[in-house]
Structure 1
Amino acid sequence: MSQHGLPAGPDDPEPDHETRPGAGESPPSAARRTAALVPGLAVCLAIAAIATLVGSFVPVLGSAMPAVVLGAVVAIVRRPASVLAPGIGFAGKRVLQAAVVLLGTQLSLGEVVSVGVESFPVMVTTLVVCLVTAWLLGRAMRVDGELTTLIGVGTGICGASAIAAVAPVIGASSTAIAYAVSTIFLFNVAAVLLFPWIGHLAGLDQHAFGLFAGTAVNDTSSVVATAAIYGSAALSFAVVVKLVRTLMIIPISVGLAVRTARRERRDGGSATTLTASGVVGLVPWFLVGFLVASLLRTLGAVPDPVAVSAGTVSVFLIATAMAGIGLSVDLAAFRTAGLRPLLLGGLLWIVVTVTALAVILLTAS
C-alpha cells in the first residue's frame, strides 16, 4: 500500500490479464484503483452531507467542524475497515487540494488590490505577530512542531482553508489536522460571541468592524456570523477582507515548502542550497491552481453565478476532506497532545485579536 492507502502499483502482483510491454498501467488496473476509492469516499461524502445540513441549521458551526467531529466519532466507535482506507486517504488529501483550487474563484485580482491596499497593514501585522508568537510559544510550551504550524497558520490566515493548504506541504498527520481545526473552531465561536461587543466598546464603525472581523476571525462562516450581527455594511466588507486574506496562504505555503525541503535535505546529509528553479518546483500544484482560478475570475472567464457555485462546492469538498481526516484520527495521539495545543490556540487568538484592534485604531483617520 502507498502512503495514501492506494495499491502500490507496479510492484504489486500482476493481475490476471496481459499488459503490453511499455504500455504502462492497463485499463483494468486503473479501474481497480478507482473502484478502491469508492467505498471510503462514499462514507466521507455522506458525512459531509450530514455536516452541511447541520451547518445550515447552525450557521456558526459551518460544515468543516461538524464533519471532522462526526468522522472522529465514527472512528472512535468503530475503526473503519481496511476497504475504506483508500477512499478516506484520497478525501483527506486530493479532495482537500481540489477545494483549495476552487477557493481561487472567489475573488478577482482587482478586488485583491483594492481591498488589499486598505487591509494590508492590519493583515500583515497580525500574521507576522501570530506566526512569531506561535513559534516562540510552541517551543516554550513543547507543543509538537507540525501542530504548532497548523494552529499558527489557521489563526493567522484563515482557519480550515489555511490548514487545508498547509497540511500537505508539511506532511501533517490527520490527528494534527483534526486537533488544529477543532482548536480554531472553538475560538471562532468565542469571536462570534465577543467581537460585536468589543467593536461597540471600541467605537468601531461598520467599515472598521468589517476590517476587524475579516482579519481576526478565521473561517468564512464565522466571519459572516460575526459581521452580520454588527450590520450589513460590516458584513460586505468583512467577507471581501477575509477572501483577500486567503491569498496569504501562497507565500506562507511556499516558505514552509522551502523549510521542509531544507530540513529533509539536512537530515539526509545533503547540501541545503536551493536554486530558484528548485524553489519553483516546491510550489504545490493546488496553490498554482488557486492563482490560475483567481486569474480566470479576473479575466471574466468565471462569471458570478459560476463563482458562487464553485464556492459552494469548495465548502462541501472541505467538509468531505474533514470527514476523511476525522475518520483517520488517532485517539491515543489526541490524549498524548493534551491541552497544551488548545492553550496555544487560545493565546494566539488573543494576540491576533488585540493586534488587529490596535492597528485598526492606530491607523484610523
Structure 2
Amino acid sequence: MPTVPPVPAAPDTAAPPTTTGRVRRLLPGLLAVGVAVAVAVLANQALPAVSALTIAVVLGVLAGNLPVLPTAARPGLTWATRRLLRAGVVLLGLQLAVPQVLGLGAGTLLVVLATVAVTFVGTVALGRVMGLPRGLSVLVGTGFSICGASAVAAVEGVVERDEEDVATAVALVTLYGSLAIAALPLLAGPAGLGGEDFGRWAGASVHEVAQVVAAASPAGAAAVATAVVVKLSRVVLLAPLVAAISVAERRRRPAAEGKRPPLVPLFVLGFLAMVVLRSVDVLPAAVLDGTKFVTTLLLAGALFGLGSAVRIAALVRTGPKALLLGLFSTLLVVAVSWAGLTLVL
C-alpha cells in the first residue's frame, strides 16, 4: 500500500508587526495627546496660575468620560503615558542646580527636609486611618510634599494604585494649591514673615512651581526668586523619595505576585544624572530654557494619558475623604514649614 505523503504545514503568517504597523496602531492616540498638550499650553498662557500639567489631566478626564476618543486611540495613549512620563521626569533634573540650592543655607534646607518628611509620613498615616487606598495616600503625600503634579506623575509608576487615584491626587494639588495662592499672602503679616522670608515660606509650602510664583508675587521680585529656589530644593528630594517608595513596594509585594518595582527606577537615575549635568554649568541658557519647555510638554502628554483612563463614577466614590486628606496635608505642609522657618530665621 503506497505511503501517503504528509501534508506540508501552512506557513506562519503571524509575522511580528513592522515599524510602520506599530506607528499606525499608536498614531490615533498620539494625535489625541498632541492636540491636548497644545490646548493645555495655550490655556496655561491665558491662566498662568493653573499649570499646563493640571489642565492636561483635566482634559484627559473629560476625554475619557465623554464620547470623543475612539477605541483605536487607547494603544497610543497607553504608550504615551509611560514613555513621556519617564522622559519628562529625567529632563526635570535639568532645572536643578545643586550650588544654587546649597546657597539657601543649612537652616532653610533643614526646614525643607523636615517639611517634606513630616508632610509625606503624616499624609500617608492619616490616609491609612481614614481607610483610603494606600496608593492614593502615597500619591497625595508625594505631590503635596514635593512638587505637585510632577511628583504624582513620577511616583505613580512605582506604587500600586488605581488610575482614579492619580487623577484624584492631581485634582487635590490643583484645588489646595489654588487656595494657597489666595490665603498665604493674607497670612504673611500674622505669621511674621515678609519679603524674602515670605518667599521661603511660599517655596517650602505651596505645591506647584507656578502656584509658588503666584503666591510669592505680592511680596516682590526678590521673594519670588527666593521662593522658586526653595521650591526646587524640594524637587531635589523627588529622587530619593521615589527610590524609597520603590523599595517599600518591593518589600510589600513578594516575587510570587509578579514583577516587582525595580530597586531604583532607571528614570530616577536619569533624573539624578541631569541634576549633575545642570550643576556643572556646561549647558547654555538657551538649551536650559528649551528643555524646560520640552519637559512641560512631555509631562502634560503623560498626564493627559493618565486622565483619559479615569472614570468619574469611581473618582466620586472617594471624594469626601480625599478632600479631607488634601486639607490635612496642606495644613501640615504650611504649619511645619512656618514653624521651622520661625526657628531658623
Note whether the superposition's TM-score is higher than 0.5.
yes
Specify every segment of 5 or more residues in structure 1 that has no aligned partner in the other structure, as ranges.
1-12, 18-24, 270-277
Offset, 1:312: 1.2
Structure 1 residues 242-300: Cα deviation after superposition (integer angstroms, max 9, x where no partner):
1121011111111111111111117649xxxxxxxx99x52111111111111111223
User: In 1, Cα distance between the equivalents of 2:190 and 2:317?
Assistant: 40
Q: Indicate yes or no: 2:272 matched with 1:291.
A: yes
Q: Indicate yes or no: 2:29 matched with 1:40.
A: yes
Give the aligned partner of residue 39 of structure 2: 50
Q: How many residues matched?
A: 335
Compared CA separation, residues 326 and 14, structure 1 to 2 (3 A): farther
User: In 2, Cα distance between the equivalents of 1:256 and 1:14?
Assistant: 45
Aligned AA (2:52): S
User: In 1, Cα distance between the equivalents of 2:184 and 2:244?
Assistant: 31
Give the TM-score normalised by the residue count of structure 2.
Answer: 0.91
**Bigger radius of gyration:** 2
Q: Which structure 2 residues correspond to residues 3-42 of structure 1 after superposition, within 5 A?
A: 29-42=18-31
Contact between 2:33 and 2:301, CA under 8 Å: does it hold in 1?
A: yes
Moved more, 187-196 or 115-124: 115-124
User: In 2, Cα distance between the equivalents of 1:354 and 1:16?
Assistant: 61
Q: Indicate yes or no: 2:65 matched with 1:76.
A: yes
Identity of aligned residues (%): 34
User: In 1, Cα distance between the equivalents of 2:178 and 2:12?
Assistant: 53
Give the aligned partner of residue 7 of structure 1: none
Contact between 2:154 and 2:242, CA under 8 Å: does it hold in 1?
A: yes
Compared CA separation, residues 51 and 14, structure 1 to 2 (3 A): farther
User: In 2, Cα distance between the equivalents of 1:216 and 1:192?
Assistant: 11
Aligned AA (1:158): C
Q: Indicate yes or no: 2:179 matched with 1:190.
A: yes
Give the aligned partner of residue 325 of structure 2: 344
Offset, 1:171: 4.2
Contact between 1:116 and 1:244, CA under 8 Å: does it hold in 2?
A: no
User: In 1, Cα distance between the equivalents of 2:94 and 2:136?
Assistant: 29
Structure 1 residues 282-332: Cα deviation after superposition (integer angstroms, max 9, x where no partner):
211111111111111122332221111111111122211111112111223
Moved more, 186-195 or 173-182: 173-182
User: In 1, Cα distance between the equivalents of 2:26 and 2:255?
Assistant: 36
Contact between 1:37 and 1:86, CA under 8 Å: does it hold in 2?
A: yes
Offset, 1:240: 1.2
User: In 1, Cα distance between the equivalents of 2:50 and 2:12?
Assistant: 48
Compared CA separation, residues 200 and 178, structure 1 to 2 (3 A): same
Q: Indicate yes or no: 2:121 matched with 1:121.
A: no
Give the aligned partner of residue 196 of structure 2: 207
Aligned AA (1:164): A
Out of 285, 307, 332, the position equivalent to 1:326 is 307
Offset, 1:77: 1.5
Q: Indicate yes or no: 2:310 matched with 1:316.
A: no
Offset, 1:14: 6.2
Give the aligned partner of residue 246 of structure 1: 235
Give the aligned partner of residue 223 of structure 1: 212
Compared CA separation, residues 268 and 353, structure 1 to 2 (3 A): same
Local SS of the residue matching 2:193: coil
Contact between 2:94 and 2:274, CA under 8 Å: does it hold in 1?
A: yes
User: In 2, Cα distance between the equivalents of 1:210 and 1:68?
Assistant: 28
Give the aligned partner of residue 170 of structure 2: 181
Out of 112, 118, 143, the position equivalent to 1:154 is 143
Q: Which runs of 4+ in 1 moved over 6 A?
A: none
User: In 1, Cα distance between the equivalents of 2:13 and 2:209?
Assistant: 47
Aligned AA (2:232): L
Moved more, 69-78 or 159-168: 69-78
Aligned AA (2:204): T
Compared CA separation, residues 36 and 110, structure 1 to 2 (3 A): same
Offset, 1:112: 3.1
User: In 1, Cα distance between the equivalents of 2:85 and 2:69?
Assistant: 20
Give the TM-score normalised by the residue count of structure 1.
Answer: 0.86
